[in-house]
């Protein structure tokens, strides 16, 4: 079994330390105002109203709180989802593979449901959370099946 594409086992702890606080803070930032100290002038590939201007400015002022928290949540989620287990065997690999497939199905089902039920500016929030939904569903399903496996081995 080839597991060269997985992170080392210790990366899972780092992932939990990154993902959980970042996700909680991201939810707080979305529900409230972003902190002022995260305001920066940054380069934008496509400025806000570049179609309506003859000489658009590619330097924009933006609050980077949600971008930083989204990135750290994604990095943490990737470390959690794709780190080796202490005992990595074929059954764990099968659980991981089926969890990835299942997460993709659920992610796109939720995306399609949101596409036909959420409109306007609110749909941008759907897009942002859609990036995280795949990792969240994957991690929850994978950890649940690992828990069920450990529970069944303990009962035997």
- The SS3 call for residue 114 is helix
Q: Distance between CA atoms of 140 and 81, rounded to whole angstroms? A: 9
Per-residue pLDDT band at 156 (split at 50, 70, 90): low
Are the C-beta atoms of residues 92 and 85 closer than 8 Å to each other? yes
The tens digit of pLDDT for each residue in 29-49 reads: 888 888 888 888 888 887 766
Q: Distance between CA atoms of 65 and 42, rounded to whole angstroms? A: 13
Other Cβ atoms closer than 10 A to 92? 19
Helix ranges restricted to H, 40-121: 65-81, 90-117
Other Cβ atoms closer than 10 A to 150? 10
pTM: 0.84
Q: Distance between CA atoms of 126 and 115, rounded to whole angstroms? A: 9
* Mean of the per-residue pLDDT values of the chain: 88
Please measure the distance between the N-terminal and C-terminal CA atoms of the chain and give it in whole angstroms.
27
């Amino acid at each position: 079994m080839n597991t060269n594409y997985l992170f080392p086992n210790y990366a899972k702890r780092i992932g939990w330390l990154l993902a959980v606080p970042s996700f909680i803070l991201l939810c707080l930032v979305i529900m409230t105002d972003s902190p002022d100290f995260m305001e920066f002038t940054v380069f934008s590939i496509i400025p806000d109203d570049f179609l309506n201007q003859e000489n658009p400015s590619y330097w924009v002022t933006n609050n980077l709180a949600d971008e930083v928290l989204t990135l750290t949540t994604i990095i943490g989620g990737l470390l959690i989802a794709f780190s080796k287990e202490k005992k990595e065997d074929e059954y764990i690999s099968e659980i991981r593979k089926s969890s990835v497939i299942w997460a993709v199905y659920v992610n796109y089902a939720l995306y399609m449901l949101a596409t036909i039920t959420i409109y306007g500016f609110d749909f941008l929030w759907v897009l942002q959370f859609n990036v995280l939904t795949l990792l969240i569903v994957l991690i929850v399903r994978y950890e649940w099946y690992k828990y069920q496996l450990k529970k069944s081995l303990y009962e035997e």
